[in-house]
Structure 1
């Protein structure tokens, strides 16, 4: 079974509205494509917010990991004991806090 977080959909919508990404599909089309492929949308629940609250804000390369979307996805994956697929160089830091990470090589 495959999943995508509602947080990912939220990020896409926000980045599209800010013209930070060019993406040909609107939210309805994305949801249709996910359903067609039997990819479930995971909601954000209180346990995910609590997991987010418990995680420290890491410093990597002397910078704070400020990406709120990333941090919510990480907290959700940790709370649900799900494997998170990402190519983000900051994500491995969270393995010490229970993140199961599958690195997607760019």
Structure 2
């Protein structure tokens, strides 16, 4: 199986937040599946940290180092993702989430998210 982590899922996993569901944690820690996080999530985190809208438990550098040592692959933005994004209905308005949704549809990944707005799209959500 292949999974895309939503931004909050990545944050909660790397920071050990108990809000992360047991199912999501088990999937991320499972060695037999592939896990991805969009570069858009990293971009979103960096923006929110710089605007002081997000306070990480560690520095952004340490957070990114922890990510690099995990079994989670950073997914770049491909042209096919932007084309898919241009065709998405506007059920969800957040631009970062819309890109994550488009990437998940295009790559056929299940999404690990608690965000109920994702369920309006043709993707499998796990939480």
Task: State the TM-score bracket (shorter-chain normalisation).
Answer: 0.7 to 0.9
Number of matched pairs: 94
Output the TM-score relative to the length of structure 2: 0.68
Residue pair 1:57, 1:66 contacting (<8 A) in 2 also: yes
- Cα RMSD after superposing both structures: 1.4
User: Aligned partners of 1:25 and 1:49: how far apart in 2?
Assistant: 32
1:20 to 23, 42, 53: 53
Q: Which runs of 5+ in 2 are unaligned?
A: 1-33
Paired residues for 1:5-84 under 5 Å? 5-58=38-91, 65-84=92-111
Match in the other structure for 1:62: none
Q: Which runs of 5+ in 1 are unaligned?
A: 59-64
Q: The residue matched to 1:92 in structure 2 has which SS?
A: helix
Output the TM-score relative to the length of structure 1: 0.80
Note closer, same or farther for the CA distance 1:46–1:25 as it changes in structure 2 (3 Å cut). Answer: farther
Q: The residue matched to 1:23 in structure 2 has which SS?
A: coil
Cα offset, 1:24, TM superposition: 3.0
